[in-house]
Every structure is written in structure tokens, then in C-alpha cells.
Structure 1
């Protein structure tokens, strides 16, 4: 009996030691908050792969994701110190910098435009100029899609309030209702918005000129102060993201990636076929625009194009003296090293 008791005690001690070891490892994780402008699990597939496959944990990081309403709120949360990482659009970020917030893009996630100017098929509209005097719906009043579409109209020499107007109608079903009720003639849509509209039976024609389809979309950003004080953590965060992106880009991991996306938004995975098609679109839009540099790279010319378009549209009051301060590529080589 004594030997049995000794074995039991030894087993309990081993379990206790294992529990203590696990707790110690959990305590070693650095908790960070990431603010994102929408609750899409599929759009952030690289992040949720990095979480689901344990890449973030391997880097000693635990990520809490908080969804807010649009890029402007993402930047407000960052500036207020309520999140360490954010996922804003480039237009709102430059607006924030113009207003004195030193926030820096560190990772270009949506390497090609995630926004489009769309109208209903059969409407007769084939280009932005056809929307003279028309109403364009937007999801949020100050979202990145607004600056993007306004730049399209500026290039067509069309002025907001004179040649066209915006109306904030929301996303998803609200956009469907906007078309059904003839409240809008066109819509400034992101990838999931287009997929949702088509799923609900709204056939769309894309009015986005070819030159605007190359504008990059939302990416990861931090404050300058956080960057300066947490370089090693940022290295680990980005390294895990790149591993998550590569995992998702492998066709063999498509179903596993869909499963991991449930971490962010399980409802979006209820229609598996729709989710699968949408994910494949996201994989294309997040593939490196400059493969020689790898994931996350930000081309100076792309930033200059965004900047110039925003100055022309009036979203920036004046040209920025130090545009290069708005972004950094210093972590790219570390993140993409194999």
C-alpha cells in the first residue's frame, strides 16, 4: 500500500509540476491588443493562422483582437494607448499623422486594393463619370474606402457635393437594402462587401479604373513610441504573421485556415462554400506585390501615389514634408527569413 501511495504521490507531484510549468509558460507570454476595423475572420486569415497554429505563442505573444468601427477608430485607439497594434487604411493613417499622431505602418497586409467602386449590373454605369449627380453608399463615414473612392472621382475631375454625393448606409445587408430601395446608385465596397452583395443576389459591375486597383489597402501599424521600445516583440509578431500567411497560401491548408478563421468570426464560416471562395480572394489580395522583398513590404512609390491622391482630393490639407516617416520596412528581412 505504501508503494501504491508513493506512486500516487509521485504522479500527483508530476501533474502539479507540469501544471506549474504550463502556468509559467503562460505567464511568460506578452499580451498585446490588436484593434481591427471590422470583425472579419477570413480577412485576417494570416493572423488567425498564426494564433491557431501556435506561431504567436512560439514568439511569446498572446493577441487579444478588438473590433472597432472603421480605420479612424483604430487610429484613435492606438493614439490613446488602448491597443499596441492596429490595422488601419493608409488614407486615414496619413490623416492622423497630419493631425499630429506619430503612427507608423509596419506591414503592408492588403498589398493590392481591397476596395472597389461598384454598381448594379444593368444600371448602364460603366465608369466613374457615369455617376454624375448620383449617390454613392459607403459603410462608414470616415473609412478607408471613402478616401479611396473620392480619389477615383478626383481623377475624373468630379467634386463631392457638386457632381456626386456620399451617404453612409452601413455594410452587408444594409448595402443590399440600399440598392433594393434605390437609395444608392453605387457603392464603395471592400472585398467582403462585394461577396455579400453577390451572395444576396445583387449582380455587380466594377467601375474602378485599372490604375486604382493597384492601391494597397489596410496594414499593421503601431505608434512610434511603441516601435522604438518594442522592436524584438514586433519582430516576433511579424514573423508569426508571415508564417500564418504562408500557411494559408498553401492549398493543402485551405480547410485548416477556414477553421482557424473561426477564432475571429465563426458566423462567417457558416456557409463554407462562400467562405472558401472569399478566402481564396483574400489570399490573392494579400500575396506580396513585390515577391522579391516578401510579405509586408511597402514600396515608396505606392505610398507616394496614395499621398498625392489624398492631397489632390483635399483629404490632406497640404503635402507632407516627411512621407517616409509614415512607414518602415526595417523588419521585412527578419520577418521573411526562412
Structure 2
């Protein structure tokens, strides 16, 4: 586990890329809360930035600071070390962390539809997952959600890491583009945002992920089990504000305000308005609940089971968890939806 000193240093190093709110004067009775996200993108965490911009967190008595760090593993380390109250890790890393004793819990299914895919260059001869046998798949981080997703897909095709394919951590954006151009990687396990950025930067890619993996939800909001047990009012307040931000952003009537909040959260993303708008549409579409969902943020138990089976098959965890149900809950998403009249 990363020590407090090392983790603090990592946060300081990330600050040039972090979206930090709360610099303005706030009422003395607001409680300071830290949210950690696995990348600098405001669009990927859009309900948080909208809830900040619209004052939904402030209505709940919260002053939220957003810190960007590198990947789901770092997010879970931050939560475990008490450096943050809430974060947005992927389900695969969460299950793996629980197997190591990290008692984190997913409380809101943000990416209800898979926000990851395995992409190849547009002109590649590779047409399907079987074409990746003996190939190298690039990833943005060594232990992020995109790694677990890709391993899940490859395991489903009967391939074993280290024997039938390799992962190579190359970073995202420019480094990923360079890895393709240099022939270091044959494919890239990417989020919806990563794919859009590659295409926007002139590296045309196409997704070859089998359609059946669309049911594997992606990153969601997590907190520690101790926080739920000992600070339930905080978790309920966060959930109400977050759900309001999510619902507000799903309404096209609020589009202009939403994009302004996202530009405030990450000015670089807001420089190209056309790209910002297209990327937001792509990311937002992945947060729309599936047809069988009861409400925004709802988790399907069966897919948690499938995630765990994939991690066991891929060797990421040695055995199923004793209590898979302990690492996720729908109760706070329901509370949040009640706050928005859902």
C-alpha cells in the first residue's frame, strides 16, 4: 500500500493536471470533501463537475475538491489511505483490491454501459479479437479499469496473458499515439474518451470489442465501508448531489450550462468546443441506464458475478470473494434518485 508520504507526493505531482475546486470563498459551515478521479478529464466525471457548478453539493453542505491521479489503483489507494472521501474506480480493480483487504464499496454505477473497448488502427489487418493472438495490447495504466476489461475480453476468447498476448503500459493521448506509430502496440484498450482523443489527434482507430461485452459496466463512485458505517449522512448527501448533477446533465435543455461547467473543470478540454461537445456526447451515452435498470446509478448483481468470474479466470484474483455483495450497493443511488424525483 502506498504510504501517506508517497501518496501525498503523487497528488502534488498531479496538481498541474488536476481540476481543483474550492479556491473561492465558501461558507464556514461547508464541509471540505475530496473526490479523486483516475484521469484529468472533467468530462469523464461530468456529474461531479455539474453538481459543483450548479451548487448541488453546496446545498448539501459540501465543498468538493477534485484531484486527478493515475488510474483506478491509485484511486483505491487514496480512499484506503484516507486521502479522499469518494473516488471513481473501475469494478475490476475494486474486486482485486477487496481480495487484498481494501474495504471499498461501489455506491453509484456511473458508466452503466461499458465505457471501454479494444481498438486497433483504422487500416490494421486485425478484424476481431482472435486477430490479437500473439499481439501486444497497449494500456493507459498498469492497473486501471481498462486492463481488467481487456483481460476479461481476451479470457473470453480463450487467450492467456503472457502466452497468447501481452499488455504494455504506454499511457494515453500522445504516448498511445506514439506507441501505435512506433509499432510498440497492435491494439489499445481504451475508454470512450481515449478513443475519441486518438481520433481527434489524427490516429484513426476502430473498436473490435465483441458486442456482448457492452453489458460490463465501467467506473463508478466508491467510498470506504467505514465511511458508510460511521458517516452515513455524508454518503447520503454526496449521493443526492451527485444524482442531481447526473440527471441535470442528461437533460439536453441544460447542455450549454453543462459544457460551461466542464470547461471550468478542465479548461484544456474546453478549448475546442466542437470536440468537447462530441466527447461529452460519447461519454454521457455510456451513463444512460440499461433497459432493465431500476434507476440512475443502479447495479445489476449478475454482471458483478461476471466481472468476478473474469478476474478469477484471468488470474487477477486467486478465488472468488467470500462476499461479493459487500463491495457494492444500490441503496445510495436510490436515495439520490429520490432526491431528483426518480
Given the two structures, how large is their TM-score scaled by the length of structure 1?
0.90
Query: Is the aligned partner of 1:101 residue 2:83?
Result: no
Residue matched to 1:191: 192
Residue matched to 1:76: 77
Residue matched to 1:132: 133
1:122: Cα distance to partner? 2.1
Residue matched to 2:8: none
Residue matched to 1:235: 236
Residue matched to 1:268: 269
Residue matched to 2:209: 208
Given the two structures, how large is their TM-score scaled by the length of structure 2?
0.89
Gaps of 5+ in 2: 1-24
Q: Please tell me the root mean square deviation across aligned C-alpha atoms, in Å.
A: 1.3
Deviations 1:8-40 (A, max 9, x none): xxxxxxxxxxxxxxx8x7111111111111111
Shifted more, 56-65 versus 287-296: the winner is 287-296
- Structure 1 CA distance, aligned partners of 2:64 and 2:91? 23
Kept after mapping to 2: 8 A contact 1:115/1:148: yes
Superposed, which structure 2 residues align to 1:295-310 within 5 Å? 295-310=296-311
Kept after mapping to 2: 8 A contact 1:290/1:297: no
Superposed, which structure 2 residues align to 1:1-338 within 5 Å? 26-290=27-291, 293-337=294-338, 338=341
Shifted more, 250-259 versus 290-299: the winner is 290-299
Kept after mapping to 2: 8 A contact 1:293/1:332: no
Kept after mapping to 1: 8 A contact 2:243/2:333: no
Deviations 1:197-229 (A, max 9, x none): 111222222111111121111111111111111
1:246: Cα distance to partner? 1.4
- Structure 2 CA distance, aligned partners of 1:69 and 1:121? 28
1:163: Cα distance to partner? 1.2
1:152: Cα distance to partner? 0.8
Deviations 1:295-317 (A, max 9, x none): 11111011111111111111111
Secondary structure of the residue that 2:306 maps to in structure 1? Answer: helix
1:332: Cα distance to partner? 2.8
Note closer, same or farther for the CA distance 1:60–1:294 as it changes in structure 2 (3 Å cut): same
Kept after mapping to 2: 8 A contact 1:125/1:131: yes
